[in-house]
Chain A
Amino acid sequence: MVLEATLICIDNSEWMRNGDYAPSRFQAQTEAANLICGAKTQLNPENTVGVMTMAGKGVRVLVTPTSDLGKILACMHGLEIGGELNLAAGIQVAQLALKHRQNKKQQQRIIVFVGSPIKHEKKVLEMIGRKLKKNSVALDIVNFGEDDEGNTEKLEALLAAVNNNDSSHLVHVPPGPNALSDVLLSTPIFTGDGEGGSGFAAAAAAAAASGASGYEFGVDPNLDPELALALRVSMEEERARQEAAAKRAAEEAAKKEKQGEQQSSSQDVTMTDQDSVPASEADDKKKTTKHDEGLLQEAIAMSSTPSYPSGRDTNMSEVAEDDPELALALQLSMQDGTKDAPSHSDMSQLLADQAFVSSILASLPGVDPEDPSVKDVLTSMQNQSEVSSSDLVG
């Protein structure tokens, strides 16, 4: 939780009219700046953020570093595009503004957005970088828009001059379908050198998320890692539970042949913990209840064995520290991932997956079971489960 005073330098030159970043470079930039303000103030309530422009009528400080988010967001509204980027003057004014911050205990940081050609020489930028380093000011550079080598080279030289112990960063954002702010969310600029920014990033991503794009479970792990993890974990859980249930089903089937259909169906109707084969009913509501209880049981059972998250889930470990339930789920999923899946029929696994997913979707807030697409999926899964249950029982 570093105490920091940040100054965001916006590039509002003519090049910002370009639409290669939707909706326009300038708007993408403003959005990213807003996100940064939110992230910084959330990291530490005493952090202050200021905003200034580097082009337009001239280098101007719009808001001196303050922790009042409203002021910052308001000042971004009336900004005009025009003129040329003056990077050197911009950074120097930013340094001066930070020098006069009210709380001298704050670390100084400048975040610069560069989206147009830099007219200064590399030497000038290096000198500025050294001055910043001497006064222990960290610098984050967001390079977007211009693909020419000249800009990249100059910015890399600037970063090399400023960088002290990896506290400064340079991020290149190529034009593409992803929004500028989304790409920035995963960079060290937001994650604060690997500290606690990822929680905010996850939340912001969920808020800003548009559609999913063909990911597992229909949820982008980058946009909403907690949701994706919960889905994946509970799927593993349900799979394990269904396998156990299928085993019991096989036993029950043997018993059923002796006792007859009636008793087993009456058993199926009741919703108890030790209830055996629900397969013949394929009732999603029942599955939901059982899934929760099953999840809990397995979680308790598995929670004693710790395991290490794989590379892909490194983000999760940070979030999981905050949320004990999530931590349990994480351990669980890893445990299941390393275990060999018992060799039951593929059908039952498929059943487990889809039925499970549907039950999860139903139990999750924000997912409307009445949604036609969800309903379609549910009915298709019911059909499949009935088919598979007849296989199991028969």
Chain B
Amino acid sequence: MSAESTTAINRSIVDLLDFIDWSGVECLNHNTAHSLPNAIKQGYREDEGLYLESDADEQLLIYLPFTQVVKLHSIVVKGPEEEGCLIGPKTVKLFSNREHMGFSNVNDFPPSDTAVLTPDNLKGKPVVLKFVKFQNVRSLTIFIEDNQSGSEVTKVDKIALFGTTVETTDMKGLKKIEDNH
């Protein structure tokens, strides 16, 4: 995975896990026993036994807001690798800066990018995205449309986002300046 991209001058590409705003994270159609933090949180996502699973059908809709504006470079989506049990995701659509999407309006506007995952990707090979479309991302919606084998249930082991931050102020870090005269 390339650490330097041609456009980044003074910032290298980092894992954007630290910039996810956990209070606004939502996931639709997931099995409550196998929920989103299993796939995203550090430590959980490395664990083979912890995964994100879909519930009523094979689609998943994940909404991730960020604490600051980021540029998204690539994503890694890992799925289960058992032979004959390829139920990792296949078509993944990404929407940037769309709040509160539902399954009914995912097809209403074109995604910022679409990724069709191969079994290689499911092993951990990152998918490089159209960087120009993700220059100013405040929130990301990941729509997993179907899985490798067309089964009823989709399993995701890990989702990792890589990119750079834009120099925005983190409001929580703002401190009052003591005025001592």
Residue ranges of B at the interface with A (Cβ–Cβ < 8 Å): 28-29, 32, 55-57, 59, 99-100, 102-104
Binary B-proximity of A158-185 (CB < 8 A = 1, otherwise 0): 0000001100000000000000000000
- What are 21 A-B pairs at a CB distance below 8 A? A99-B102, A99-B104, A104-B99, A104-B100, A130-B56, A130-B57, A131-B56, A133-B29, A133-B55, A133-B56, A134-B28, A134-B29, A134-B55, A134-B59, A134-B103, A135-B28, A135-B29, A135-B103, A136-B28, A164-B32, A164-B55
Residue ranges of A at the interface with B (Cβ–Cβ < 8 Å): 99, 104, 130-131, 133-136, 164-165
Q: What residues on B are CB-neighbors of A134 within 8 Å? A: 28-29, 55-57, 59, 103
Q: What residues on B are CB-neighbors of A104 within 8 Å? A: 99-100
Question: What is the chain B residue whose CB lies nearest that of A165?
Answer: B32
Q: What residues on A are CB-neighbors of B56 within 8 Å? A: 130-131, 133-134
Total CB contacts across the A-B interface at under 8 A: 26
User: CA–CA, A104 to B100, complex, Å?
Assistant: 7
Q: What residues on A are CB-neighbors of B55 within 8 Å? A: 133-134, 164
Output the least CB separation between A90 and chain B (Å). Answer: 18
Q: What residues on B are CB-neighbors of A165 within 8 Å? A: 32
User: CA–CA, A130 to B56, complex, Å?
Assistant: 6
User: CA–CA, A133 to B28, complex, Å?
Assistant: 9
Q: What residues on B are CB-neighbors of A164 within 8 Å? A: 32, 55
Q: What residues on B are CB-neighbors of A99 within 8 Å? A: 102, 104
User: CA–CA, A130 to B103, complex, Å?
Assistant: 13
Question: What is the chain B residue whose CB lies nearest that of A161?
Answer: B56
Output the least CB separation between B18 and chain A (Å). Answer: 24
User: CA–CA, A104 to B59, complex, Å?
Assistant: 21
User: CA–CA, A136 to B54, complex, Å?
Assistant: 12
User: CA–CA, A28 to B39, complex, Å?
Assistant: 48
Output the least CB separation between A133 and chain B (Å). Answer: 5
Given contacts A134-B29, A134-B56, A134-B57, 17 further A-B pairs with CB under 8 A are A99-B102, A99-B104, A104-B99, A104-B100, A130-B57, A131-B56, A133-B29, A133-B55, A133-B56, A134-B28, A134-B59, A134-B103, A135-B28, A135-B103, A136-B28, A164-B32, A165-B32
Q: What residues on A are CB-neighbors of B99 within 8 Å? A: 104
Q: What residues on A are CB-neighbors of B103 within 8 Å? A: 134-135
Question: What is the chain A residue whose CB lies nearest that of B27?
Answer: A136
Q: What residues on A are CB-neighbors of B57 within 8 Å? A: 130, 134
Q: What residues on B are CB-neighbors of A131 within 8 Å? A: 56
The 6 lowest CB-CB distance pairs between A and B, nearest first, are A134-B56, A134-B29, A130-B56, A133-B56, A104-B100, A165-B32
User: CA–CA, A26 to B15, complex, Å?
Assistant: 59
Q: What residues on A are CB-neighbors of B102 within 8 Å? A: 99, 135
Output the least CB separation between B29 and chain A (Å). Answer: 4
User: CA–CA, A135 to B57, complex, Å?
Assistant: 11
User: CA–CA, A131 to B104, complex, Å?
Assistant: 10
B29, B56, B99, B100: residue with the most chain A Cβ atoms closer than 10 Å? B56
User: CA–CA, A130 to B55, complex, Å?
Assistant: 9
Output the least CB separation between B106 and chain A (Å). Answer: 12
Output the least CB separation between A325 and chain B (Å). Answer: 38
Output the least CB separation between A71 and chain B (Å). Answer: 25
Output the least CB separation between A118 and chain B (Å). Answer: 22
User: CA–CA, A133 to B57, complex, Å?
Assistant: 10
Q: What residues on B are CB-neighbors of A136 within 8 Å? A: 28-29
Question: What is the chain A residue whose CB lies nearest that of B29?
Answer: A134
Output the least CB separation between B2 and chain A (Å). Answer: 37
User: CA–CA, A130 to B59, complex, Å?
Assistant: 12
User: CA–CA, A131 to B59, complex, Å?
Assistant: 12
Q: What residues on A are CB-neighbors of B59 within 8 Å? A: 134
Question: What is the chain A residue whose CB lies nearest that of B100?
Answer: A104
Question: What is the chain B residue whose CB lies nearest that of A162?
Answer: B56
User: CA–CA, A136 to B103, complex, Å?
Assistant: 11
User: CA–CA, A104 to B101, complex, Å?
Assistant: 11
Question: What is the chain A residue whose CB lies nearest that of B104?
Answer: A99
Q: What residues on B are CB-neighbors of A130 within 8 Å? A: 56-57
User: CA–CA, A135 to B61, complex, Å?
Assistant: 10
Output the least CB separation between B43 and chain A (Å). Answer: 25
Output the least CB separation between A195 and chain B (Å). Answer: 18
User: CA–CA, A99 to B105, complex, Å?
Assistant: 11
User: CA–CA, A164 to B104, complex, Å?
Assistant: 20
